[in-house]
């Protein structure tokens, strides 16, 4: 038994406690004392704030609505399942699921307006053509089934919750006002829980006694301050249920993310193809046409056997020769942009080549146990190539480092430079081929890209790529 | 060869533009302007009208069909100006748009054709004097896409060759030299083709092209 006595709050740091005659000085740090104080204040204030009352109101309204809802859903669901072998049963089941979905909407609306909890709407129902199509879509509607699951849990929970919360509030009210209105003779309107707590009270606790009145008042106070928290406990569970079962389907959200990633990948590859086509069209193809043209002219000049202008022919062949060499160089650059040949010898060698080619002195550390898939290798390679190009162009750095290491099931690339910093995701790469393009590529394989670049540097870009897809 | 034909060039690739200028000057043409975008050609043609304009289809700003739009526009504004569209790809749709009302003074060639300098220069001259020059590739595509295969099958292989060359815009003399036969033989083939396909006979080469193209497209 702990009795608190002589609470001397000397600068709020110590409490003397007497336990079974022994005096103990409990030292409480100021931090804890402050926390204790604010907690006490919070408990005392809570019943006088708006929140517990709107939570109680939410509970009552949503409980009432759910009561009506479950009566309908339950009836149609049970009948539908019972008659599931018949067409009528299936139709009833479809109707039930559609209603559950609709009523889920009410619940979300209530949570939004009364609890201020934003719950995203799930993906809308899309029925296929015709009644059979509609029925098929309705029976397969995950949102509908999840709403049924919600109501199956929420209704009993709300009934229990409403009973407990209302009892508490009512008892609090009854106990606090009891001593005032109690005219003696057992007229105390104690209801619910209190009856259970005091079945056979000792004599001085009998209605009408002084202790009885004081005890009831204290009990009322405890109920009064506890009621908001108990209500909140019940409401919180309901909130979690709403978020988990009435919000967007996590599976559907995942599908959507994947779809987005796929679109980005498709866009990125379309853009890459366009760029390659443009490079070929403007560069190599034009070079080759000009080359063929010069050789054609030279050929014609040589055919005129009477007076061959050898100087002119030499000039033309010279120009054609130059053009051929330029075309070869251009083709090589374009091919390297499609698939870096350096990757054929492995990522480590490829990164070392990149570092050696970089204008800023760059160190590479490499620690991977197994070779990643070609796709991951290529993304890692292009990330490092782009990031090192950025370092050379924008960072004004004197040194850079690249590290490539395994972290669990992730490949972690860190590119660091000692430059002036201030790089931002949107600004580092100015075009789609810059950092934005990298981010798309990295997201496409569910990876992450993270930039830390305070003004004055250093800049650290971290890229995480999954090793096992 | 017609002496000192005046040529304007719009081609955004500097390498090709320079090459073309060199080639044409070498062949005795006068270059009135060699520019890299549609607007520059518009003003060049207005200031110093050429006999024929060589126009690249893909040019700035969007690199799609600027050249084609420019060609259609120039043809409306400058009567008698020959236009040779010059492209790395053949789009039959472009050919159809270009030849919508008239084939006079219109050419559409793959850029590769400059490698055969004489053929290219001949095509350019033909366009400059109001003739037609369609790339063999365009004609092949039209022949491949036509729904008149039944009717075409009544032609002999030789007649089909003549038809293709006619569609390119060549004169009887040019067809004769290409097939290494006499001009009289070509005339006979042409007469047969027109009779078999039931086409109106026309003296004018470019009207003849149009008739053949209409037949293939319908």
Ordered domains of chain B (ranges, CATH) = 6-133 (3.40.50.2300), 146-217 (1.10.10.10)
Check CB contact of A297 with chain B, cutoff 8 Å: yes
> Does residue B1 surpass a pLDDT of 50?
no
> Does residue A101 surpass a pLDDT of 50?
yes
What is the per-residue pLDDT for B126? 92
Mean pLDDT, residues A442-460: 86
> Does residue A1 surpass a pLDDT of 70?
no
Average pLDDT, chain A: 79
B-chain residues near A287 (CB < 8 A)? 15
The answer to pTM > 0.90 is: no
Q: Are both A302 and A411 inside the same structural domain?
A: no
What is the per-residue pLDDT for A178? 63
Do A292 and B110 contact (CB within 8 A), yes or no?
no
Q: Are both A313 and A229 inside the same structural domain?
A: no
Is the model more confident about A188 or about A316? A316
Confidence of residue A27 (pLDDT cuts 50, 70, 90): low
A-chain residues near B112 (CB < 8 A)? 289, 292
What is the per-residue pLDDT for B42? 94
Look at A21-35, A59-73, B45-59 and tell me which has the smallest mean pLDDT. Answer: A21-35
Residue finishing a domain among A338, A373, A402: A338
Q: Would the ipTM clear 0.85, i.e. be above it? A: no
Q: Are both A188 and A280 inside the same structural domain?
A: no
Check CB contact of A469 with chain B, cutoff 8 Å: no
> In angstroms, rounded to a whole number, what is the distance separating the alpha carbons of residues A268 and A438?
10
pLDDT in tens, B150-193: 778 888 999 989 999 998 989 899 999 999 999 999 999 998 98
Look at A166-170, A194-198, B121-125 and tell me which has the smallest mean pLDDT. Answer: A194-198
pLDDT in tens, A267-282: 777 877 887 888 888 8
Which of B19, B22, B86, B111 is best to mutate for the A interface (most A CBs within 10 A)? B19
Mean pLDDT, residues A410-417: 93
Check CB contact of B116 with chain A, cutoff 8 Å: yes
B16 and A296 within 8 Å at the Cβ level: the answer is no
Residue finishing a domain among A338, A358, A378: A338
Q: Which of A2-16, B67-81, B83-97, B143-157 has the highest mean pLDDT?
A: B67-81
Mean pLDDT, residues A308-314: 89
Mean pLDDT, residues A39-62: 83
Confidence of residue A463 (pLDDT cuts 50, 70, 90): very high
Q: Are both A140 and A209 inside the same structural domain?
A: yes
> For residue A208, what is the DSSP state?
T
Check CB contact of A373 with chain B, cutoff 8 Å: no
H/E/C letters for each residue in chain B? CCCCCEEEEECCCHHHHHHHHHHHHHCCCEEEEEECCHHHHHHHHHHCCCCEEEEECCCCCCCCCHHHHHHHHHHHHCCCCEEEEEECCCCHHHHHHHCCCCCCCEEEEEHHHHHCHHHHHHHHHHHHCCCEEECHHHHHHHHHHCCCHHHHCCCCHHHHHHHHHHHHCCCHHHHHHHHCCCHHHHHHHHHHHHHHHCCCCCCCHHHHHHHHHHHHHC
Q: CB neighbours of A91 closer than 8 A, spacing ≥ 6?
A: A80, A135
CA nearest to B115 within chain A: A293
Look at A129-143, A175-189, B18-32, B43-57 and tell me which has the smallest mean pLDDT. Answer: A175-189
> Does residue A366 surpass a pLDDT of 90?
yes
Check CB contact of B57 with chain A, cutoff 8 Å: no
A292 and B19 within 8 Å at the Cβ level: the answer is no
Q: Which of A34-38, A323-327, B32-36, B198-202 has the highest mean pLDDT?
A: B32-36
Phi, psi (5° rounding) for residue A465? -125, 135
CA nearest to B111 within chain A: A289
Average pLDDT, chain B: 88
> Does residue A251 surpass a pLDDT of 90?
no
> Does residue A215 surpass a pLDDT of 80?
no
What is the per-residue pLDDT for A10? 43
What is the per-residue pLDDT for B24? 93
Check CB contact of B117 with chain A, cutoff 8 Å: yes
B-chain residues near A300 (CB < 8 A)? 117-118
> Does residue A425 surpass a pLDDT of 80?
no
Q: Are both A347 and A331 inside the same structural domain?
A: no
Cα distances (Å, whole numbers) of residue B21 to B9, B18, B31, B107, B120:
8, 5, 7, 18, 13
Number of inter-chain CB pairs under 8 A, A vs B? 47
pLDDT in tens, A119-175: 888 878 887 888 888 888 888 888 888 888 888 888 888 888 888 888 888 877 777
Q: Are both A223 and A315 inside the same structural domain?
A: no
What is the per-residue pLDDT for A25? 60
Task: Provide the number of structural domains found in chain A.
Answer: 4
> Does residue B56 surpass a pLDDT of 90?
yes
Residue finishing a domain among A214, A246, A278: A246
Q: Are both A296 and A359 inside the same structural domain?
A: no
The CATH number of whichever domain residue A366 belongs to comes to 3.30.565.10
Check CB contact of B211 with chain A, cutoff 8 Å: no
Pick from A278, A281, A286: which is nearest to B15 by CB? A286
Q: Are both A87 and A210 inside the same structural domain?
A: yes
> Does residue A228 surpass a pLDDT of 60?
yes
A290 and B58 within 8 Å at the Cβ level: the answer is no
Q: Are both A40 and A61 inside the same structural domain?
A: no
Confidence of residue A51 (pLDDT cuts 50, 70, 90): confident
A-chain residues near B16 (CB < 8 A)? 286, 289-290, 293
What is the per-residue pLDDT for A412? 94
Q: Are both A224 and A265 inside the same structural domain?
A: no
Confidence of residue A190 (pLDDT cuts 50, 70, 90): very low
CA nearest to A323 within chain B: B15
Check CB contact of A460 with chain B, cutoff 8 Å: no
What is the per-residue pLDDT for B41? 94
Distance from CA of A298 to the nearest CA of B (A): 10
Check CB contact of A278 with chain B, cutoff 8 Å: yes
Q: Are both A58 and A187 inside the same structural domain?
A: yes
Identify the domain containing residue A22 by its residue range. 3-44
CA nearest to A282 within chain B: B13
Mean pLDDT, residues A106-125: 83
> In angstroms, rounded to a whole number, what is the distance separating the alpha carbons of residues B168 and B188?
19
Q: Are both A203 and A324 inside the same structural domain?
A: no
A296 and B116 within 8 Å at the Cβ level: the answer is yes
Handedness of CA A70, A73, A76, A79 (dihedral sign): negative
What is the per-residue pLDDT for A24? 60
Check CB contact of A290 with chain B, cutoff 8 Å: yes
């Amino acid at each position: 038994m702990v009795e608190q006595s002589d609470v001397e709050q000397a600068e709020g740091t110590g409490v003397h406690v007497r336990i079974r005659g022994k005096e103990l000085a409990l030292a409480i740090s100021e931090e804890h004392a402050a926390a204790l104080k604010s907690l006490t204040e919070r408990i005392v204030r809570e019943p006088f704030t708006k929140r517990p009352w709107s939570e109680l109101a939410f509970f009552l309204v949503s409980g009432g609505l759910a009561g009506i809802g479950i009566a309908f859903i339950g009836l149609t669901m049970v009948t539908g399942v019972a008659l599931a072998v018949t067409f009528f049963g299936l139709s009833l089941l479809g109707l039930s699921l559609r209603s559950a979905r609709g009523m889920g909407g009410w619940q979300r609306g209530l949570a939004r307006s009364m609890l201020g909890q934003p719950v995203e709407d799930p993906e809308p129902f899309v029925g296929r053509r015709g009644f059979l199509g509609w029925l098929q879509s309705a029976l397969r509607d995950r949102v509908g089934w999840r709403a049924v699951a919600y109501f199956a849990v929420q209704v009993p929970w709300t009934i229990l919750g409403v009973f407990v919360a209302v009892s508490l509030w009512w008892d609090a009210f009854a106990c606090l006002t009891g001593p005032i209105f109690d005219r003696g003779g057992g007229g105390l309107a104690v209801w619910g829980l209190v009856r259970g707590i005091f079945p056979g009270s000792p004599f001085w606790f009998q209605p009408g006694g002084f202790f009885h009145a004081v005890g009831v008042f204290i009990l009322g106070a405890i109920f009064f301050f506890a009621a908001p928290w108990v209500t909140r406990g019940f409401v919180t569970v309901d909130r979690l249920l709403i978020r988990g079962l009435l919000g967007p389907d996590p599976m559907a959200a995942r599908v959507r993310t994947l779809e987005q990633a796929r679109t980005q990948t498709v866009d990125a590859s379309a853009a890459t193809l366009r760029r390659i086509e443009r490079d070929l069209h403007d560069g190599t193809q034009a070079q080759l046409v000009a080359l063929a043209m010069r050789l054609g002219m030279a050929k014609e000049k040589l055919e005129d056997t009477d007076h061959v202008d050898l100087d002119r022919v030499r000039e033309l062949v010279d120009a054609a020769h130059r053009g051929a060499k330029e075309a070869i160089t251009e083709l090589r650059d374009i091919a390297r942009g499609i698939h870096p040949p350096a990757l054929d010898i492995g990522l480590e060698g490829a990164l070392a080549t990149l570092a050696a080619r970089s204008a800023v002195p760059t160190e590479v550390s490499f620690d991977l146990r197994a070779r990643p898939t070609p796709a991951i290798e290529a993304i890692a390679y292009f990330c490092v190539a782009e990031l090192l190009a950025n370092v050379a162009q924008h960072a004004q750095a004197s040194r850079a480092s690249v590290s490539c290491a395994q972290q669990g099931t992730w490949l972690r690339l860190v590119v660091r430079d000692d430059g002036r910093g201030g790089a931002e995701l949107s600004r580092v790469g100015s075009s789609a081929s810059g950092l934005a393009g990298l981010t798309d590529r990295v997201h496409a394989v569910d990876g992450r890209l993270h930039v830390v670049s305070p003004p004055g540097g250093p800049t650290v870009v971290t890229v995480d790529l999954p090793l096992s897809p | 060869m017609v002496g000192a034909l005046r040529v304007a060039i719009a081609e955004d690739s500097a390498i090709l533009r320079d090459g073309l200028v060199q080639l044409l000057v070498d062949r005795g043409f006068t270059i009135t302007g060699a520019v890299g975008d549609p607007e520059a050609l518009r003003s060049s043609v207005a200031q110093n009208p050429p006999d024929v304009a060589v126009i690249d289809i893909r040019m700035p700003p969007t690199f799609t069909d600027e050249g084609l739009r420019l060609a259609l526009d120039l043809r409306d504004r400058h009567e008698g100006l020959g236009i040779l569209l010059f492209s790395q790809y053949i789009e039959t749709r472009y050919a159809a748009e270009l030849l919508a009302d008239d084939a006079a003074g219109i050419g559409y060639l793959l850029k590769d054709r400059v490698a055969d300098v004489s053929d290219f220069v001949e095509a350019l001259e033909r366009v400059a004097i109001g003739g037609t020059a369609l790339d063999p590739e365009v004609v092949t595509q039209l022949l491949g896409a036509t729904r008149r295969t039944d009717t075409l099958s009544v032609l002999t292989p030789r007649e089909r060759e003549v038809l293709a060359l006619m569609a390119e815009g060549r004169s009887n003399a040019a067809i004769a030299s290409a097939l290494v036969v006499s001009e009289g033989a070509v005339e006979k083939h042409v007469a047969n083709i027109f009779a078999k396909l039931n086409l109106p006979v026309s003296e004018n080469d470019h009207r003849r092209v149009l008739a053949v193209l209409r037949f293939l497209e319908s």
